[in-house]
């Protein structure tokens, strides 16, 4: 149990109205120390718990999520402005992630037998490390956490969550899911602390590994601290994903999916399509269709069922998007639609499309965390690949063509952690997820994700009867 009494509160603003939400008490140093002790003690028994029991509890947690879907969806909408339909889908996806690892853990964690010499049994055993700290962002406040928690808990690690400061109620609600499902005390614990406290937790000897989803500066800080302590880390640091439309693409589908890919979660997604790279032969038609699709989206109250695009999660985030748009226009870009914050309460920015964007302008070379798209015209497939790769970031990409062999060929040439042909970039518990270059390192999800924080132990068993 937490022991702190006098604590400062985390102050939050409803992004749809600009009104203050009630503060949530922050845990103090004594609380954090108690949580780390509890996690260490819990690991001793949890790591020895039968896999079947860990799988059963994961399934119970998935049931809790589904039973409380509406409650959790409305909590996300209130804290960070996610449109309610997307919030419900996020809870369901989190439950799917739990179910996936409950089902596939025996396969993912099975010993890997390797033939070596006669009379020997040699294999790799996958064994948990201990308490793992997750430093998580606000944009997908449930899914980001459960895609960390599901593989790690079923593998025998225990979880510590340091969530973003504007979603503390989501963080505490996630802890309550595991409590209600029957997980032993200390197996998953939320630390309601500010970012300034994260480094000391990373460096604490009781923490054995760390994962972060966040900005590049945060990744460098977290990765540096973990590296100095010789602790493994996984970093997912965002992207400036290209959406490549080739001359033989289905333009109606590309424009429709492209608008969704750019404005998913109100544009606040690291794997959102951000740079639209379009072959000159179809550029004019695609641009016309794409602008029409963006303008058809409903911007409004995130609690309304018909809303497509809600507010930006914080006022400073909306201001940053507008600064990037303004700077790009000053550098020579043309506004096709949008381009100004909406004149209403809350932090609303409209779906925005810019053309003639210089490559070194903000919309050409930075991650834009809001519903603003840059559209580029290229003369060839080779030029499309070159522009797609002209970024320090490499998280995801999307390629559109009716020739599937061509799509696969282009996909292999794009420098990113994942490429989707005729589909928007997405995370899926069945597939590994992560980036390259300044988008980070390591993988989450699938078999690769569950093994990120396991000891790959080599075991050699020699039959002495076969020794000379």
Residue 150 has pLDDT above 50, yes or no: yes
At residue 309, the 3 state secondary structure works out as strand
In angstroms, what CA-CA distances link 82 with 143, 146, 312? 13, 17, 9
pLDDT at 468: 60
Q: What is the pLDDT of residue 464?
A: 85
Residue 6: the pLDDT is 36
DSSP per-residue codes, 451-462: TTTEEEEEEEEE
Average pLDDT of the residues of the chain: 96
Distance (Å, whole) CA 327 – CA 322: 8
Which listed residue (26, 90, 270, 415) is catalytic?
270
The two three-digit tokens of residue 368, written as one number = 């834009």
The predicted structure's pLDDT at residue 136? 98
- Is residue 170 among the annotated active site residues? no
How many CB atoms neighbour CB 180 within 10 A?
Answer: 15
Distance CA 69, CA 124 (A): 39
Q: What's the average model confidence in pLDDT over 216-235?
A: 97
Q: Sort strands 396-400 and 352-355 into parallel, antiparallel or unpaired.
A: unpaired
Helix ranges, 331-371 (H): 362-365
CA gap 172, 390 in Å, rounded: 40
Q: Each residue of 357-397: pLDDT tens digit?
A: 999 999 999 999 999 999 999 999 999 999 999 999 999 99
Q: Over 70: is that where the pLDDT of 466 sits?
A: no
Counting residues of the chain whose pLDDT is more than 70, the rounded percentage is 97
The b/e string for 344-369 (b: 16+ C-beta within 10 A; e otherwise) is: eebbbbbbbbbbbbeeebbbbbbbbb
> Which tens digits make up the pLDDT trace of 68-126?
999 999 999 999 999 999 999 999 999 999 999 999 999 999 999 999 999 999 999 99
Q: Order of strands, edge to edge, in the sheet holding 418-421?
A: 334-337, 352-355, 372-378, 273-279, 241-245, 396-400, 418-421
pLDDT-based confidence at residue 243 (cuts at 50, 70, 90): very high
Strands (DSSP E) found in 112-207: 112-113, 120-128, 131-135, 158-162, 188-190
Question: What pLDDT shows up at residue 309?
Answer: 98
Q: How confident is the model at residue 3 (pLDDT cuts 50, 70, 90)?
A: very low
Question: How far is 208 from 129, CA to CA, in rounded Å?
Answer: 6
pLDDT attached to residue 392: 97
Query: Where residue 9 falls among pLDDT bands split at 50, 70, 90?
Result: low
Residue 10: predicted pLDDT: 72
Token pair belonging to 244:
């490549």
Instruction: Please check the confidence at residue 246 and state whether its pLDDT lies above 90.
Output: yes
Nearest to 300 by CA among 344, 338, 264, 364: 344
CA distance 270 to 247: 27
Q: Locate 122 and state its tokens.
A: 């040699």
Q: What is the DSSP string of 69-113?
A: HHHHHHHHHHHH---HHHHHHHHHHHHHHHHHHHHHHHHHHS-EE
CA distance 179 to 296: 43
Structural domains in the chain, CATH included, are 11-237+439-459 (3.40.605.10), 241-421 (3.40.309.10)
Mean pLDDT of 225-234: 98
Q: 337 φ, ψ to 5°?
A: -160, 155
Least confident span in 193-202, 299-308, 321-330, 436-445? 193-202
Q: Residue 410's CB: how many other CB atoms inside 10 A?
A: 23
First-residue to last-residue Cα distance in the chain: 59
Tell me what the mean pLDDT of segment 448-465 comes to.
Answer: 96
Q: Which of 26, 169, 236, 377 is flagged as catalytic?
A: 236
Exposure string of 243-278, with b = 16+ CB inside 10 Å and e = fewer, is bbbbeebebeebbbbbbebbbbbbbbbbbbbbbbbb
Is the backbone of residue 221 left (phi > 0), alpha (psi -120 to 50) or beta?
A: alpha
| Neighbour count for residue 457 (Cβ, 10 Å) | 11
Confidence at 11, pLDDT banded by 50, 70, 90: confident
């Amino acid at each position: 149990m937490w022991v702190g009494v006098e604590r400062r509160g985390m102050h939050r603003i409803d992004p749809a109205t600009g009104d203050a939400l009630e503060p949530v008490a922050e845990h103090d140093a004594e609380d954090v120390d108690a949580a780390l002790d509890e996690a260490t003690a819990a690991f001793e028994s949890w790591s020895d718990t039968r896999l079947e029991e860990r799988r059963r509890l994961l399934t119970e947690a998935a049931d809790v999520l589904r039973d409380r879907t509406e409650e959790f969806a409305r909590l996300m909408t209130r804290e960070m402005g996610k449109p309610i339909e997307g919030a419900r889908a996020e809870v369901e996806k989190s439950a799917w992630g739990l179910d996936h690892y409950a089902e596939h853990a025996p396969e993912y964690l099975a010993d890997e037998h390797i033939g070596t010499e006669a009379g020997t049994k040699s294999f790799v055993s996958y064994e948990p490390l201990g308490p793992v700290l997750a430093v998580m962002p606000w944009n997908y406040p449930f899914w980001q956490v459960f895609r960390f928690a599901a593989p790690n808990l079923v593998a025998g690690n225990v979880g510590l969550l340091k969530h973003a400061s504007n979603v503390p109620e989501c963080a505490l609600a996630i802890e309550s899911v595991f409590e209600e499902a029957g997980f032993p005390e200390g197996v998953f614990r939320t630390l309601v602390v500010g970012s300034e406290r994260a480094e000391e937790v990373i460096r604490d000897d009781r923490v054995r590994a760390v994962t972060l989803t966040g900005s590049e500066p945060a990744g460098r800080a977290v990765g540096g601290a973990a590296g100095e302590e010789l602790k493994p880390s996984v970093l997912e640091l965002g992207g400036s994903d290209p959406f490549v439309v080739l001359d033989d693409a289905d333009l109606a589908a590309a424009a429709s999916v492209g608008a969704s890919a750019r404005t998913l979660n109100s544009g606040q997604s690291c794997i959102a399509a951000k740079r639209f790279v379009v072959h000159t032969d179809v550029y004019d038609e695609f641009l016309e269709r794409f602008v029409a699709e963006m303008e058809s989206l409903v911007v409004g109250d995130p609690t309304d069922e018909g809303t497509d695009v809600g507010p930006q999660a914080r006022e400073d985030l909306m201001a940053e998007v507008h600064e990037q748009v303004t700077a790009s226009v000053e550098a020579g870009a043309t506004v096709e639609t949008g381009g100004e914050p909406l004149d209403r309460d809350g932090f609303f920015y409209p779906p925005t499309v810019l053309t003639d964007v210089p490559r070194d302008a903000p919309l050409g070379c930075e991650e834009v965390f809001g519903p603003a798209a840059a559209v580029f015209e290229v003369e060839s497939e080779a030029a499309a690949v070159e522009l797609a790769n002209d970024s320090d970031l490499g998280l995801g990409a999307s390629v559109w063509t009716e020739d599937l062999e061509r799509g696969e060929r282009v996909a292999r040439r794009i420098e990113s952690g994942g490429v989707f042909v005729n589909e928007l970039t997405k995370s899926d518990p069945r597939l590994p997820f992560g980036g390259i270059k300044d988008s980070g390192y390591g993988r989450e999800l699938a078999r690769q994700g569950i093994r990120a924080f396991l000891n790959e132990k080599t075991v050699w068993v020699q039959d002495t009867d076969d020794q000379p």
